[in-house]
Amino acid sequence: MNRVNTSPILRIDAAGKTYFNNQGVPVPALMPVTAQIAEAEFVSFVGPSGCGKTTLLKMAAGLITPSEGAITYAATGTPIRPGHYGFVFQGAALLPWRTVLENVMLPAVILGLPLHAARERARQLLELVHLGRAASSYPNQLSGGMQQRASIARALLHDPTVLFMDEPFGALDAMTREQLNMELQRISVDQKKTVLFVTHDIEEAVLLSDRVFVFTRGPGQLAQTLEVAIPRPRVVSDRAHPDFLRIVAQIRTLLDRGDTRVEEHA
Ligand code: ADP
Ligand code: MG
């Protein structure tokens, strides 16, 4: 896609976060970040544990408030509202007492949408993520990969424009992960979703993204954003593309440097 010609969908305007611990001592978690996310763009956040990736994702979703700055949905100029986004958490976070179909319908219940139409759409989405036959199963009857597929279907139920995904495939084996990477790509490209995707896995980030935001610790900050110019949709063999290898190496260097700096301060 050509990002330059598309308008921003999210504006991150010097948004930073300081938490307070139990003693009331301020703990800086994320130094101010400024960036714009384009419509239908796929952006990944990578960086070591504790560098503020989840914090930034939750602020972008309006789930927590920035201590400084703001993150706004361009269409309204206010924080994005639940009807406009879907959120996929690290654990699939399915409700164990609801069937897969009922789990996928959950956003309709929460947002007060008509349930008959939601049930139809939930069935279609389960087909889309290859879970059509698991609709009446319970989450504990599904493999980890199937549970994550169900949680992606759930995040898409209300046809949101933006998907926030916090290490959605972190707990899966490498083969399942690669399969889900390709399925997520297919869905996000076909349905023109804007995706903000947190991952520990540099190669996963580069394979999926238009841009990769690299974060470092001590305290968390956005060190650099890197553009991946390989045309999307990508194929698994793009992992051997010279641009792919170059960007992966560049990110590793940034992260190594970040870690060294943390040690120097310690
Ligand atoms: P990441 O997702 O990159 O691992 P987080 O955004 O979860 O990082 O956390 C960034 C920093 O903020 C960490 O030092 C973490 O311990 C701290 N932190 C996160 N949430 C809270 C909270 N609710 N209260 C206090 N500190 C927090
Ligand atoms: Mg996190």
The pLDDT, as a whole number, for residue 113 is 96
Atom of ligand 1 nearest to the CA of 47: 3
Ligand 1 centroid – CA 29 distance (Å): 6
Return the closest-CA partner of residue 164 out of 125, 135, 137, 193.
193
- Find where tokens 């999307």 sit: 232
Ligand 2 centroid – CA 172 distance (Å): 16
Atom of ligand 1 nearest to the CA of 17: 12
**Is the pLDDT reported for residue 235 higher than 70?**
yes
Residue with the smallest CA separation from ligand 1 atom 13 is: 50
Ligand 1 centroid – CA 30 distance (Å): 9
Q: Starting from the CA of residue 56, give the closest ligand.
A: 1
Residue with the smallest CA separation from ligand 1 atom 23 is: 19
The one-letter amino acid code at 63 reads L
User: Encoding tokens for residue 50?
Assistant: 């504790």
Q: How far apart are CA 120 and CA 190, in angstroms?
A: 20
User: Which residues line the pocket of ligand 1, CB cutoff 6 A?
Assistant: 19, 21, 27, 29, 47, 49-55, 220
Any idea which of 9-18, 90-99, 220-229 has the lowest mean pLDDT? 90-99
The pLDDT, as a whole number, for residue 170 is 87
**Is the pLDDT reported for residue 18 higher than 60?**
yes
Atom of ligand 1 nearest to the CA of 30: 10
pTM: 0.93
Return the closest-CA partner of residue 71 out of 160, 10, 9.
10
In contact, 222 and 35? CB cutoff 8 Å? yes
Q: Is the dihedral of CA 62, 38, 44, 139 positive or negative?
A: positive
Q: Which of 55, 67, 200 for mutating ligand 1's site (highest number of atoms within 8 Å of CB)?
A: 55
Summarize pLDDT for 129-138 with one digit per residue, the tens: 999 999 999 9
Summarize pLDDT for 29-83 with one digit per residue, the tens: 999 999 999 999 999 999 999 999 999 999 999 999 999 999 999 999 999 999 9
Q: Would you kindly state where each structural domain of the chain is located, as residue ranges?
A: 8-259
Backbone angles phi, psi at 36, to 5 degrees: -120, 140
Residue with the smallest CA separation from ligand 1 atom 21 is: 19
Write down the CATH superfamily of domain 8-259: P-loop containing nucleotide triphosphate hydrolases (3.40.50.300)
The pLDDT, as a whole number, for residue 172 is 86
Q: Starting from the CA of residue 215, give the closest ligand.
A: 1
In contact, 125 and 103? CB cutoff 8 Å? no
Spatial strand order of the sheet with 26-38 comes to 26-38, 8-20, 68-73
Q: What is the enclosing helix (H) or strand (E) of 194?
A: strand 194-198
Ligand 1 centroid – CA 18 distance (Å): 9
**Is the pLDDT reported for residue 2 higher than 60?**
no
User: Encoding tokens for residue 135?
Assistant: 């609709």
pLDDT band at residue 259 under the 50/70/90 scheme: low
